[in-house]
Structure 1
Amino acid sequence: MVLEGLGAEERLAYVLHDLFGLPPDETARVTGGSPGDAARLARRVRERIRGGGAARADGGPGRRRAVVGRFLAAARARDARALAAVLAPDVVAYSERGPVHGAPAVAEAAVAFARLAGVARPALVDGSVGLVAFLAGAPVSAVAFTLRHDRIAVLDITTGEERVRALELAFSED
């Protein structure tokens, strides 16, 4: 029913990106937008399917930052157990390579993020709490988190300087 209520562009971006696993570049080529737009459309549909963004607002700002801080600390330590503890059991990580399902698989994949964790900063990524990693002063990777009950339920991962720059990024002063 949710898919029927979507516009054609949203439905197409969601089906191509999430269901068929097409990277944002290829999805954008079909939809006629940019890779950032295609990823944003798919993310917006995912939020509607999961309850209209309510999970994104789970907990206050301090609690959301604490969850992201625990994720970042575990990634920097390359501690898959600590990563799994901050992830919801049914977590899904979406990236250009396609979705990864479940806390054990996402935790293992996140350990690979450790090389960028040392250069990552907390940020709002398209309005969601997240992280942005920089190399030589350029943003090269961004992760937007959806939280549920103080755990990470969804990770939306964007890589590549051009794609990351296309996102709406906001950094706090603290």
Structure 2
Amino acid sequence: GGVEGVAGVRAGGGRESVWLALFLVLESLGAEERLAYVLHDLFGLPSSETARITGDAPEEVARLARRARERVHGHGTGRTDEGIGRRRAVVDLFLAAARARDARTLAAVLDPDVVAHSDRGPVHGAPAVAEGAAAFARFADVARPALVDGAVGAVAFVDGRPVSAVAFTLRRDRIVTVSVTTGEDRVRALDLVFSDG
């Protein structure tokens, strides 16, 4: 069915360039990143199931998928302080809105098709992701802004211990993906740079 598929895409005009772009982006990923991204993000398998298939640890699968997600959404290169500051402002607004359950602000910063990734698998859509963010905000004694594996995010602390981390991917100043890591050991294993030092 490959030839018919290509012919169908060509007949679709603009779709051809979309498929080509997706193919080129996936080709630019390393083999491990690509497999983790396809299984975890595209097929929606939890980290534990993806890890069973790839033979990696769940933490490594989550990290590979997050790195691939950043590159797919166009934020893997060319980070500037200004760009990080701008994304940080959007994330701070999101966290404050989640705490306050401010639906209007959440709608303004979340892409309608936002996807949140965690060990339990993906959660789709702004309403469900906003609900999860509100739970994150209520759960933490304090949430400190941080770069999480190079992505703008935050780390939640309970009794001084880092228990959860979130990393965000943005496109045109809207949050398109949220990656959640839970468990003190797993959070400590991430590359965390706190920006409110």
Band the TM-score falls in, shorter-chain normalisation: 0.7 to 0.9
The TM-score with structure 2 as length reference comes to 0.75
* Partner residue in 2 for 1:111: 134
Q: Are 1:120 and 2:140 an aligned pair?
A: no
Q: Are 1:136 and 2:159 an aligned pair?
A: yes
Q: How many residues align?
A: 174
- What are structure 2's unaligned runs of at least 5 residues? 1-22
Identity %: 74
Higher relative contact order (CA 8 A, sep 6+): 1
Quote the offset at 1:41 in angstroms: 1.0
The TM-score with structure 1 as length reference comes to 0.84
Q: Are 1:156 and 2:179 an aligned pair?
A: yes
Post-superposition Cα deviations, 1:79-126, rounded to whole Å, max 9, x if no partner, equal: 333222221222221111222222223222322223235421100100
Post-superposition Cα deviations, 1:2-50, rounded to whole Å, max 9, x if no partner, equal: 4355443223222321233232233223322222211111122223333
Classify 1:6/1:70 alpha carbon distance in 2 versus 1 (closer, same or farther; 3 Å): closer
User: What is the rounded CA distance, in whole Å, between the counterparts of 1:163 and 1:115 in structure 2?
Assistant: 21
Quote the offset at 1:54 in angstroms: 5.6
* Partner residue in 1 for 2:74: 51
Residues 50-129 of structure 1 correspond to what in structure 2 (within 5 A)?
A: 50-51=73-74, 53=76, 60-129=83-152
Once the two structures are overlaid, the 10-residue window that deviates more, 81-90 or 160-169, is 81-90
Larger Rg computed on CA atoms: 2
- What are structure 1's unaligned runs of at least 5 residues? none
Answer 1 or 2: which has greater helix percent. 2
Q: Is the 8 A contact 1:35 1:163 kept in 2?
A: no
Classify 1:79/1:37 alpha carbon distance in 2 versus 1 (closer, same or farther; 3 Å): same
User: What is the rounded CA distance, in whole Å, between the counterparts of 2:115 and 2:41 in structure 1?
Assistant: 11
User: What is the rounded CA distance, in whole Å, between the counterparts of 2:80 and 2:180 in structure 1?
Assistant: 19
User: What is the rounded CA distance, in whole Å, between the counterparts of 2:78 and 2:177 in structure 1?
Assistant: 10
Quote the RMSD (CA, aligned, Å): 2.5
User: What is the rounded CA distance, in whole Å, between the counterparts of 1:173 and 1:52 in structure 2?
Assistant: 22
